[in-house]
Structure 1
Amino acid sequence: MEVLGVTFLCLAAAFGLLVLVIGAFLLRRYHLNRALGTFDASIRLPTSGWRVGVCRYTDKHLEWLSLLSLSPLPRHRFLRSSLEVEGWRPATESERVRIQPGAIVVQLVHDGEPLDLAMKFDVYAGLSSWIEAGPVIGIGTWR
């Protein structure tokens, strides 16, 4: 086989692989958007900067999945009964370039550790209601 044919086959294989990876990312994003109880939210932990992702409600946990990953497993899981809402604030100028447009920064505490989630205000209303609507600790199915 001549050199031009081998080069063409290598480029075609690389292009095909690139199309498959992009397709997998788009399919995952579509699936996450259609799932019940999901919303776009960037996260900032004390040890890192802002990362873009999607949060998902479950019965006992708030799960955060990275948008730049193909893994179906959440990168962070926060126990609902251990989450406390400290409040919210508008995003600063430097934060606006790292989070979605029009988002607010929600300040949470999970087991004594602070964390920030950036989300739309209407999503914040749902999140705070979800956290506050859980059963009282020690009663129901928390533990």
Structure 2
Amino acid sequence: MEPLGLTFGVLAGLFGLLVAVIGAFLLRRYQLNRALGTFDASIRLPPRGWRVGVCRYTDLHLEWLSLLSLSPLPKHRFLRSSLSVSGWRPPTEDERVQIQPGAIVVQLVHAGEPFELAMKYDVYAGLSSWIEAGPVIGIGTWR
């Protein structure tokens, strides 16, 4: 095979691989958006900065999945009965460029460890209701 043909073949293969990876990211994003109980949310676990992703409700957990990953497994899982909302605040000027536009910063505590999620206000209302409606540990009844 000629050097020009070999170069073209390698470049075509790399381009095809790039298109396949981008397609996989788009397909994953589409599937996450279609699933019930999902919402866009950036997360900040001290001392790290903000990371963009998607949260998903399950019956017992709040799961956070990174948008920059093809893994179907959540990066972080928070037990519903161990979650509490400390409050919310508007983002600082520095945070506005790191999170989605129009989001608020929700301060949460999981098993004594604080972390923050950035989400739209209407999503926050749903999240706080979901947390408050969860079962109490060891009792088996609803709050």
TM-score, length of structure 1 as denominator length: 0.97
SS in 2 for 1:86: strand
- Residue 72 of structure 1 aligns to a residue whose secondary structure is coil
Two-structure CA RMSD over aligned residues (Å)? 1.1
Alignment of 1:55-134 (within 5 A): 55-134=55-134
1:45 and 1:141 mapped to 2: Cα distance? 31
Structure 2 stretches lacking a partner, 5+ long: none
In structure 1, runs of 5+ residues without a counterpart are: none
% identical equivalent positions: 85
Distance 2:119 2:130 in 1: 15
Which position in structure 2 is the counterpart of 1:11?
11
Deviation at 1:137, TM superposition (A): 2.1
| TM-score normalised over the length of structure 2 | 0.97
1:39-84 superposed Cα distances (whole Å, 9 cap, x missing partner): 0000000131100000000000000000000000000000000001
Is 1:34 matched with 2:27? no
| Residue in 1 that maps onto 2:53 | 53
3-state DSSP of counterpart to 1:20: helix
- 2:51 is paired with a residue whose SS is coil
Letter in 1 for 2:115: L
Q: Which residue identity does 1:5 align to in structure 2? A: G
Q: Partners in 1 of 2:106 and 2:40 — Cα distance?
A: 13
Q: Distance in 1 between matches of 2:71 and 2:13?
A: 23
SS in 2 for 1:39: strand
Structure 1 distance, partners of 2:37, 2:122, is: 13
